[in-house]
């Protein structure tokens, strides 16, 4: 994790390894802890933690890892998840609850129920997905403080 103080607030950068499922969630746990220390309202902290955690899990199980940038500003927390994975062919389909391309192995780990992206949309206040098949995916989320 790297931390930078910007004119708007605090900025954090995480590299999420794609080959270590046990570490998935470390970045989200770090941000949750930072937000709590900053005295952010618990319901807002949980919204950020869950939406970022689902995104972090997706990076590991679908994209072979990626990067996460988080900015904590005066009005909102912005989360950007970037990967160079296979991309999402049909974003609208991927947003449907229960739709998943996860493998049986991933399901055995307790994920891949087709709730990841819907959860991210539910817990964030704004979400945008930019995905190109064969190039990768960028998911941008905002949670207002």
List residues near other proteins by CB under 8 A: 21-22, 24-25, 28-29, 32, 42, 46, 49-50, 53-54, 57, 97, 109-116, 118-119, 122
Q: Measured from the CB of residue 6, what is the shortest distance to other proteins in angstroms?
A: 26
Judged by beta carbon, residue 14 or residue 111, the one nearer other proteins is: 111
Cβ contacts of residue 19 below 8 Å, gap of 6+?
64, 65
Q: What one-character-per-residue DSSP string does 68-136 give?
A: EEEEE-SSEEEEEEEE-SS--S-HHHHTSTT-----HHHHHTT--SS-HHHHHHHHSSEEEEEEETTTE
Q: How far apart are the first and last CA of the chain?
A: 22
Residue 46 beta carbon to other proteins: minimum distance, rounded to whole angstroms: 6
CA atoms within 13 A on the CB side of 128: 6
Minimum CB distance to other proteins smaller for 24 or for 34? 24
Q: What are phi and psi of 32, to 5 degrees?
A: -60, -45
User: Which of 50/94 has CB closer to other proteins?
Assistant: 50
Task: Kindly tell me which of 82 and 123 has the beta carbon lying closer to other proteins.
Answer: 123
Q: Which is nearer to other proteins, 64 or 130 (CB)?
A: 64
Q: Closest distance between other proteins and the C-beta of residue 109, in Å?
A: 6
Q: How far apart are CA 52 and CA 124, in angstroms?
A: 9
State the minimum distance, in angstroms, from the CB of residue 113 to other proteins.
4
Task: Tell the smallest beta-carbon distance from residue 122 to other proteins (Å).
Answer: 7
């Amino acid at each position: 994790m790297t931390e930078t103080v910007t004119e708007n607030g605090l900025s954090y950068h995480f590299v999420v390894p794609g080959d270590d499922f046990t570490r998935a969630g470390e970045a989200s746990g770090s941000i949750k802890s930072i937000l709590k220390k900053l005295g952010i309202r618990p319901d807002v902290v949980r919204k950020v933690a869950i939406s970022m955690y689902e995104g972090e899990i997706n990076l590991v199980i679908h994209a072979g890892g990626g990067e996460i940038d988080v900015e904590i500003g005066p009005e909102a927390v912005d989360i950007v998840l970037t990967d160079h994975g296979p991309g999402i062919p049909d974003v609208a389909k991927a947003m449907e609850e229960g739709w998943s391309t996860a493998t049986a192995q991933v399901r055995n780990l307790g994920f891949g129920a087709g709730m990841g992206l819907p959860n991210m949309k539910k817990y964030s206040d704004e979400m945008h997905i930019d995905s190109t098949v064969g190039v990768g995916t960028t998911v941008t989320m905002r949670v207002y403080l």
